[in-house]
Structure 1
Amino acid sequence: MKQSKIIGTGHYVPDHVVKNADLEKLMDTNDAWIQERTGIQERRHVVPGGEDTTSRMGTRAAQMAISQAGIEVDDIDFIVFATLSPDYYFPGPGVMLQQQLGFKKEIGALDVRNQCSGFIYGVSVADQFIKTGMYRTVLVVGSEVHSGGLDMTTRGRGVSVIFGDGAGAVVMQSTDEKHKGVLSTHLHSEGQFAEELALIGPATTDWIPNYIERNDPEDLRYYPHMNGNFVFKNAVVRFQEVIHEALIANNLGANEIDLLIPHQANLRISQFIQKQMNLPDEKVFNNIQKYGNTTAASIPLALSEAMHAGKVKDGDLICLAAFGSGFTWASALIRW
């Protein structure tokens, strides 16, 4: 059986920087309040009506990953696109990226809707396709545009200060190196808590015309809802569980991790996990300070930044872990 390895990484963020001080003009908040609770100093937002969309940002991240991999677009056999914020209700952005990259062949494109865990779920899908021999080279993308759907008032500050826009991508390819590449992936869900972190409407249970007809400014279902304390308490447990699950599956210890790249949900969660696992600062990569929570884009964006900064070296043991809406959580252990 083949192994799958990452041969190229890429990322893209919009030019427009939104600092905490900028949010003070829109809502009752301040830099100290935001940093104390989340660690975020700034984030990127797309310009309304501009060129940056979920699919286009994903395309730009993919182009960077393809270039670094040293391959051509048509060397890719399949696309996996993870997002909670597609350009349209349908079709999904995978097919749009396929068109934007200029493929000459009509390869398949799969959209993954697992929110914060979406990229790792996508890596797992790609890994299985490659290991079974169905495809040789798979492009996995995570991209999000949150900014247009946030309640940028004091009422929504508990959620809106957290999220940013951005994209990341990896190229995965088969290899005969038995001890390199994706060692294992681990995927979980707990649907009983689905509405603790969710966007309830518009939905097929309550279509958009009903919203328009009601014209109720206090109807907040079309803004994201997050039970922050409950999410935090579950996240710190599930993060540790799924990381240790990956280590146990491969007979490895936490001290053997060279770099942990957690989903960039909240710096306080990452710091808690780091402390519990007794990992030094140089073994944990965080960039939420600059970009906020970019959901499915956060891990590939961070992985690409770490790679291009020289923090990922040949032979390193890399652990990716995520927890989020669903609830879903996942991990991937990779020997670089």
Structure 2
Amino acid sequence: MYTSRISGLGSYVPENIVTNDDLSQLMDTNDEWIQERTGIKERRHIKKGDGNSTAKMGVKAAKIALERAKLTPGDIDMIIFATLSPDMYFPGGGVQVQEMMGMKTIPALDIRNQCSGFVYAISVGDQFIKTGMYKNILIIGSENHSGGLDMTTRGRSVSVIFGDGAGAAVLTRSEDAGRGVLSTHLHSEGAHAKELSLIGPSTERWVPELIEENPQEEIPYYPYMNGQFVFKNAVVRFSEVINEGLQANNLSSSDIDMLIPHQANLRISQFVQKKFQLSDDQVYNNIQKYGNTTAASIPIALTEAWEEGKIKEGDTVVLAAFGSGFTWGSAIIKW
């Protein structure tokens, strides 16, 4: 039976750094308030004219991942693109990547699972490889949040959190059963979908209807988040799905060499770290620099941890995410 291993990683973030002090010029907030609640010090935002978009950032990260995997665009059999912020309402970013990178007429699949999108994409790609259908799959998580945030005091509870960026991984077929992606575990709970959502515009509520239905101070085409409710659910689901993955592989928390959690909130990561009694060297966080980049957060963090030598051959690496939907998942990888 085939397994899939990560043969290449890459990431890209815009050059434009937006600090907490920068945001304090736009809204009633300050560095201390943001860091205390989220752990974030700065984030990257696309700047008009810098040549970036969700798909273009994805391509930049993908080119690095392919180079490190020692592959060319012609070697890729499938693209899986995870984002909540595609360049267009339709089509999705996957076909843009196929065209920009000059790939063959390979399938391009878009994943809309927001913060858990990259873990879902790894799981989907893993199944295609295990069946023998494909050999090399390009997985991208990319987000352009900044253009759709309410950068006023009204929207500060959400807008201070999110940043832009992209990460990519190449999944490659392997015949080493003890290495690569050992298992993935996925869940959802749609009962809480509106607790972290953007309800319009949509096919049910187009922009003219939204403006007509709502007073100016309640603009529903900005993201909404019930922060405390999301936090309480996240710490529970993170723990559950990590334990599920460990148990499926007869592992314990002491076997984890590196946990890469979705970078939603530093306080969530610290809670999970304490629960599993992991040291600072066993958990990688970079939300301080980039904010929450949704589907891009895990591949950016995974890439940086690997670049810094914190992930080595033979290590047990755990990816875990929770977010809008609610959806959550984990992946257990033997590097």
Q: Contact 1:48/1:148 (CA < 8 Å) preserved in 2?
A: no
Q: Structure 1: which 4+ aligned runs deviate by more than 3 Å? A: 211-216
Q: Contact 1:7/1:172 (CA < 8 Å) preserved in 2?
A: yes
- Aligned partner of 1:46: which letter? I
Please name the residue that 1:48 is paired with: 48
1:121-155, Cα deviation, whole Å (9 max, x unpaired)? 00000000000011010000000000011111111
1:200-238, Cα deviation, whole Å (9 max, x unpaired)? 111111112334666952242100000000000000000
Q: How much has 1:317 moved relative to structure 2?
A: 0.2
Q: Contact 1:318/1:335 (CA < 8 Å) preserved in 2?
A: yes
Q: Secondary structure at the match of 1:203?
A: coil
State whether structure 2 residue 100 is matched by structure 1 residue 100.
Answer: yes
2:274 and 2:259 map into 1 onto residues whose CA distance is: 12
Q: Secondary structure at the match of 1:110?
A: strand
Q: Contact 2:320/2:329 (CA < 8 Å) preserved in 1?
A: yes
1:217 and 1:88 map into 2 onto residues whose CA distance is: 25
1:49 and 1:70 map into 2 onto residues whose CA distance is: 32
Q: Secondary structure at the match of 1:89?
A: coil
Q: Secondary structure at the match of 1:118?
A: helix
- Aligned partner of 1:30: which letter? N
Q: Which moved more, 1:201-210 or 1:238-247?
A: 201-210
Q: Contact 1:2/1:174 (CA < 8 Å) preserved in 2?
A: yes
Q: Secondary structure at the match of 1:233?
A: helix
Please name the residue that 1:181 is paired with: 180
Please name the residue that 1:146 is paired with: 145
Q: Contact 2:142/2:296 (CA < 8 Å) preserved in 1?
A: yes
1:3-48, Cα deviation, whole Å (9 max, x unpaired)? 0000000000000000000011011111011000000000000013
- Aligned partner of 1:164: which letter? G
- Aligned partner of 2:141: which letter? G
Q: Contact 2:210/2:220 (CA < 8 Å) preserved in 1?
A: no
Q: Counterparts in 2 of 1:58-137, with a 5 A limit? A: 58-103=58-103, 105-137=104-136
Q: Contact 2:35/2:41 (CA < 8 Å) preserved in 1?
A: yes
Structure 2 unaligned residues grouped into runs of 5+: none
Q: How much has 1:110 moved relative to structure 2?
A: 0.1
Q: Counterparts in 2 of 1:1-336, with a 5 A limit? A: 1-103=1-103, 105-211=104-210, 216-336=215-335
2:312 and 2:148 map into 1 onto residues whose CA distance is: 38
TM-score using structure 1 length = 0.98
- Aligned partner of 2:317: which letter? I
Q: Contact 2:211/2:219 (CA < 8 Å) preserved in 1?
A: no
1:264-313, Cα deviation, whole Å (9 max, x unpaired)? 00000000000010000000000000000000000000001111111110
1:297 and 1:255 map into 2 onto residues whose CA distance is: 27
Q: Contact 1:186/1:331 (CA < 8 Å) preserved in 2?
A: yes
1:243 and 1:316 map into 2 onto residues whose CA distance is: 16
Q: Contact 2:129/2:135 (CA < 8 Å) preserved in 1?
A: yes
1:38 and 1:308 map into 2 onto residues whose CA distance is: 25
Gap change, CA 1:215 and 1:50, over 3 Å in 2: farther
- Aligned partner of 2:246: which letter? L
Same amino acid, percent of matched pairs:
65
2:241 and 2:219 map into 1 onto residues whose CA distance is: 33
